[in-house]
A = this chain, B = another copy of it.
Amino acid sequence: MSSPAADPDTDPAEDPASTPEAKARRPRLSREVVLTAALKLVDAEGLEALSMRRLGNELGRDPMGLYRYAKNRADLLDGITEVVLDQLVIPTDGADWQQQLHATAHDFRDLALAHPNVVPLLVTRPLSTPLGLRPLGTLRPLENILDLLIRAGFTPEDALHVYRAYYGFLYGHILNELQEFVVDEQENECLLRLGLHRLPARSFPRLRAMAPVLADYDGAEELDQGITILLGGLAAQLHPTTARTPTAT
């Protein structure tokens, strides 16, 4: 993590690049610098806070300058998703595929939890761009997982099926988990903490009764079980030629 801008953190708002001192110190701009600054801002203050002007301010630059490195706001958003997804490494060696997919699922989850504000982008941006036109960084995971599966003995068609089920579940799980996230941590009265007290008891009995169970949610465990079931089922049904489901253990 670089601290070149020496930000009096997130509050150089008072001093918008007017002093030449600040001007001298700031690093040369580049797409990467811009994008990571954007990511930092989104992580810290949410998607709403990310505007060209604000980001420019954060970098001590004129907002217009950013258009050299991202031709749009949309492009900027795409760039952010790319930066985040680049941090996801997917093994391409020939080890046990199920285990590898488990591992990357957890990696992905960690990534999502580390950047919860970016998750809406991850799931939303691809909806507005046809598959082939997406930023390459976004397609890397897809390519790598396909590769992994085909090496494991799946036909390309089956690999695609597995990928879809797997990635779909993964995305869905992340959304679910983030949705249930408890905002205010020290409120220990379950109903209150989740805001469930507001629900009419008559028409939401199940949900209200669920409060204590809802409160503790082991996301990793839940994700793991789901993936296990899914991959096991898929393997049994599609018979990859080489690798086998490790029957026990």
Residues 91-133 of A at the B interface (beta carbon under 8 Å): 116, 119-120, 123-124, 126-127, 130-133
Find chain B residues with CB under 8 A from A233 CB. 228-230, 232-233
Report copies per complex: 2
Q: Interface on chain A toward B: helix, strand, loop, or mixed SS?
A: helix
Q: What CA separation (Å) do A197 and B132 show in the bound complex? A: 7
Task: Tell me the minimal C-beta distance from A58 to chain B in angstroms.
Answer: 22
Q: What CA separation (Å) do A134 and B195 show in the bound complex? A: 9
Q: What CA separation (Å) do A127 and B122 show in the bound complex? A: 13
Q: What CA separation (Å) do A131 and B226 show in the bound complex? A: 22
- Set B147, B169, B206: member contacting A172, Cβ < 8 A: B169
Contact, CB under 8 Å: A176 / B168: yes
Chain A contact-residue range equals 35 or more
A52 at the interface (CB under 8 A from B): no
A70 at the interface (CB under 8 A from B): no
A13 at the interface (CB under 8 A from B): no
Contact, CB under 8 Å: B222 / A164: yes
- Set B132, B173, B214: member contacting A160, Cβ < 8 A: B214
A194 at the interface (CB under 8 A from B): yes
A248 at the interface (CB under 8 A from B): no
Beyond A123-B123, A127-B119, whether A146 also contacts B226 by CB under 8 A is no
A residues with CB within 8 A of B: 116, 119-120, 123-124, 126-127, 130-133, 136, 139, 142-143, 146-147, 150, 156-157, 159-161, 164-165, 167-173, 175-176, 178-183, 191, 194-200, 203-204, 206-207, 209-210, 213-214, 222, 225-226, 228-230, 232-234, 237
